[in-house]
Amino acid sequence: MEIMQISPVELLTRCLLFKGVSRSEIEPLALQCAWLELRKYQPLFFQGDPVDQVYLVQAGLVKVYRLDPRGKRQIVLHQSFPGQCVAALAVFLQKPTYPCSAEAAEASRVLVIPAEALGQLAQKNVAFANNMLETASQHTRQIVQVLDRMVFCDVDSRLAEYLLSMTKTYGQGFKLPTNQEIAAVVGTTPEPVSRKLGHFSQQGWIAVRNRKLSILNKAALLRLRFSY
């Protein structure tokens, strides 16, 4: 994966979390940061680890997830795309340990930010503190949406929403993750994902070739998405 090289200052400045923070305050923070190249499936941290670092995605995709009590099934709570932070809110927990686990969903490049430095910035910069509150509100809304989908939507609806979202992000002909990875996002197991993809294909709603998917009937998937 070819990644455009930019400076830590430039990436931090582009991130909405640092909107309103002056360059004179970002530059000292940037000096404490380091780049980290991640292979697909490489973990960033595990649930219960102490919060020592926060991550800002420059390229790729990082998923944040929890495991079932047996440690086998994943539920994806959030996916961080370029320009988004991972685990920033965990810095401000009373006992700062990561409440979830995170790993690279594809080859990625992230900026590693010391958690202590981020906490210090929040204490002295009102704009940054307000941005953190807004981020917390957005994450709360995302978790509520995840719960809504799990409780009120069937697998067809959740899978249709996932395919529409992926096509919007990556375009037609995007490469499907494994059925296990899709299942973790839509909250089911790989077997129903396989059956539903086959059904969607038979109906002529999608086309899949060499794990590359194109949507042929967007209206049909939209009807499924809003059928709950």
Q: For 94-120, how does the pLDDT look when each residue is reduced to its tens digit (9 = 90+)?
A: 778 898 999 999 999 999 999 999 989
* Contact of 202 with 210, CB cutoff 8 Å: no
Region 3-10: mean pLDDT is 85
Query: Where residue 151 falls among pLDDT bands split at 50, 70, 90?
Result: confident
Distance (Å, whole) CA 8 – CA 44: 19
Query: Where residue 75 falls among pLDDT bands split at 50, 70, 90?
Result: confident
Percent of the chain residues topping a pLDDT of 90:
62
What's the chain's Rg over C-alpha atoms? Answer: 19
Backbone angles phi, psi at 5, to 5 degrees: -85, 125
Q: What CATH number does domain 8-151 carry, 1.10.150.120, 2.60.120.10, 1.10.3470.10, 3.40.50.920?
A: 2.60.120.10
Q: Residue 227: its pLDDT value, please?
A: 55
Q: Residue 59: its pLDDT value, please?
A: 94
Percent of the chain residues topping a pLDDT of 70:
96
- What are the tens digits of pLDDT across the range 188-213? 889 999 999 999 999 999 999 999 99
Tokens for 54, please give them: 């926060």
Query: Where residue 142 falls among pLDDT bands split at 50, 70, 90?
Result: confident
Statement: residue 135 has pLDDT above 90:
no
Nearest by Cα to 154 from 180, 187, 177, 182: 187
Q: Where are the strands (E) in the chain, listed by range?
A: 34-38, 43-45, 53-59, 62-67, 74-80, 85-86, 101-104, 108-114, 174-175, 206-209, 212-215
Statement: residue 2 has pLDDT above 70:
no
CATH class of 153-225: mainly alpha
Structural domain boundaries in the chain: 8-151, 153-225
